[in-house]
Structure 1
Amino acid sequence: MIDASPREKLLDAAITHIAHHGGAGKSLRALATDLGTSHRMLIYHFGSKEGLLTAVAREVEARQRAALADVADGREFWRRLTGEDLRANEKLFFQLYGQALGGTPGTTELLDGVIDDWLGPVEELLAAYGVPAADRPAEARLGLAVARGLLLDLVTTGDLDAVNAAMAQFMARYE
């Protein structure tokens, strides 16, 4: 990252590290060692281990929303979402989502925009599929729920063929 702040550099390193090695089960000190920094720096920038992991999940979500804008169809985006390189970050997302819903300190920030931030980009994709404007809000929420449900299935079962078949059936509605 050119001209990135120390926080941005740590966040980027954490995203990469967690994508390859996981991280939710590690202590803050172990994560700091893995990232080549100190636990004090992580606390300074993120407040806690949960704050770091929540920042990772939020940034991965933001990057995926940006990627959605760069694809011409939902099938390509689904292939990106189900790629092995995102699996650990998706697992982290669901772990933190449950913690945030339970009010675990340091994780509740994840809930800010976790649904609403996706609805606009999904509605734009639906417009490209010719979905009438009046139907887009409900269809966007449905599509987000289906995608998240199937991603949860994928990180739980590892059955990529089954979730791909289910998504193909869902996407057939728009073809």
Structure 2
Amino acid sequence: MARTADPVKREELLKAVVAYLEQHGIGDMSLAPMAQALGTSKRMLLYYFGDRAELLTQALDASRPQLGEMFRDVATPERFTAAARTMWRELTRGGERRNVRLLLQVLSLAVTDPETYGESARTAVDVMIGPIAAALSTIGYADEDACARATLVVSGLRGLCQDALVTKDRARVDAAAELLIAAAVAH
């Protein structure tokens, strides 16, 4: 009789996988060294996550910011601006800062290896755009315009995150983020 996977153990292992990937990157991700570093076996990683691609997908899902929560009660441009500023702070100074590095790696790898990383990268973009576009629709923008503005916010802030990681010029990048957020709700 097959054993049922322990959901608590699986969740703990997934958190450890995310932390490992944040520290070591995903470009040369190999299950054997990861398992050894996590104090488990490659067999157990496969048992809990299926395969390397599924492990990566689940790690990305687990590391994604909860934008639905940040943008849930947005009904005015002012509330949108406040939510977007909160998101920016979380991405650059808060608990999501480490996850940004992981996301940027996946997006970059998707360009050169779309078979392995393309679906994860598209999903990462889509799940960020969705809640922001919904908030912009609630404010009164037509769906197509709301989606374009959400793309501006997601892609623009992501690019600014990369700029900040590379240049360490926080003041310039923060000022650019303010401009971008204001542009998203400008008429």
Which TM-score applies when normalising by structure 2?
A: 0.71
Q: 2:35 aligns with which of 28, 32, 35?
A: 32
Asked whether the equivalents of residues 14 and 56 of structure 1 are also in contact (C-alpha less than 8 Å), the reply is yes
**5+ long unaligned stretches in structure 2:** 1-5, 74-78
Which residue does the alignment assign to 1:149? 159
Equivalent pair of 1:123/1:137 in contact (CA under 8 Å)? yes
Is 1:132 the counterpart of 2:132 in the alignment? no
Bigger radius of gyration among the two? 2
Give the 3 Å change call, closer, same or farther, for CA 85–159 of structure 1 in structure 2: farther
* Aligned residues of 2:72 and 2:135 also touching (Cα < 8 A): no
Map residues 19-168 of structure 1 onto 2, 5 A cutoff.
19=22, 21-24=23-26, 27-44=30-47, 45-48=49-52, 51-61=54-64, 63-69=65-71, 73-83=83-93, 85-103=95-113, 106-127=116-137, 130-134=139-143, 135-168=145-178
Identify if the C-alpha distance between structure 1 residues 111 and 170 changes in structure 2 by more than 3 Å, giving closer, same or farther: closer
Rounded Cα–Cα distance in structure 2 between residues aligned with 1:46 and 1:94: 24
Is the alpha carbon distance of 1:159 and 1:30 closer, same or farther for their aligned partners in structure 2, counting shifts above 3 Å? Answer: farther
Counterpart residue number, 2:3 = none
| Secondary structure at the counterpart of residue 123 of structure 2 | coil
Q: How far is 1:110 from its partner?
A: 0.7
Identity %: 31
Q: Which stretches in structure 1 are left out of the alignment for 5+ residues? A: none
TM-score by length of 1: 0.75
Equivalenced residues, count: 169
Q: CA deviation at 1:104?
A: 5.8
Alignment check: 8 A CA contact 1:119 1:141 kept: yes
- C-alpha separation between the residues in 2 aligned to 1:54 and 1:95? 13
Q: What is the CA RMSD across the aligned residues, in angstroms?
A: 3.0
Per-residue deviation, residues 84-117 of structure 1 (Å, max 9, x unmatched): 6433321222222222232265433313423332
